[in-house]
Chains A and B, each alone.
Chain A
Amino acid sequence: NAGVTQTPKFQVLKTGQSMTLQCAQDMNHEYMSWYRQDPGMGLRLIHYSVGAGITDQGEVPNGYNVSRSTTEDFPLRLLSAAPSQTSVYFCASTMGEGNAYEQYFGPGTRLTVT
């Protein structure tokens, strides 16, 4: 299994540009999530999905859209990039449910918006 994969690894955007961060998992996990990590801020949840066709907002959803058409893929879209979106983005999928689960993280995408 490749686990959770993310592309690209690095990206530089100009303010106002749009792009999609790709995330895929091959473990057949129902739950997937997107986080952003800023220095000294820990990880903050952007959006999450509990299954194909179902998404919901996390702590910091503004400026981001998601969709989940398949179990495997969970892309994150930036519609009009802003410098405040400069961050490292992590995608995760969750194994298990109820009272026993763990998240598997991708390697991250480092995004700079100028």
Chain B
Amino acid sequence: SQQGEEDPQALSIQEGENATMNCSYKTSINNLQWYRQNSGRGLVHLILIRSNEREKHSGRLRVTLDTSKKSSSLLITASRAADTASYFCGAGTASKLTFGTGTRLQVTL
């Protein structure tokens, strides 16, 4: 079964706005990762947050992790049209990572 489940399934915003997407997972984790997938391409790693971290930043990305609620959120600030993609959270081990169904983000001009 899939470890992570993203919410919402789809999100449409205007350029410059912030985008927030959430992920819930089922079992204990060592870390949680977020990936982006552009249409027709493979996933690209964005950011990893360890289980002992609560918040992490990378450029316009901010990830939070709440292990008590088994949930994580990804915030993209000042979104751009180029951020249009699907976003997935992944959880598991280095050899066996499982993903949710993703959030489709559409950023319009």
Interface residues of A (CB under 8 A from B): 4, 31, 33, 35, 40-45, 48-50, 56, 58-59, 90, 92, 94, 96-108
Contact = CB atoms under 8 A, between A and B. Distances in A.
Nearest to A42: B101
B46 to A, nearest CB: 9
A59 B90 CA distance: 14
A99 B52 CA distance: 11
A101 B29 CA distance: 13
B: contact size bracket = 20 to 34
Contacts, number: 71
A45 B94 CA distance: 13
B78 interface: no
B98 A108 contact: no
Interface of B: 1-2, 30-31, 33, 35, 40-45, 48, 50-51, 88, 90, 94-102
**Residue with the greatest number of chain B CB neighbours at <10 A, chosen from A45, A58, A90, A98:** A45
A104 to B, nearest CB: 7
Contacts of B48: 100-102
Contacts of B40: 108
19 contacts: A31-B94, A42-B88, A42-B99, A48-B96, A49-B95, A59-B2, A59-B98, A92-B42, A92-B43, A94-B94, A96-B94, A98-B30, A103-B33, A103-B45, A103-B90, A105-B44, A106-B42, A107-B41, A108-B40
A48 B101 CA distance: 20
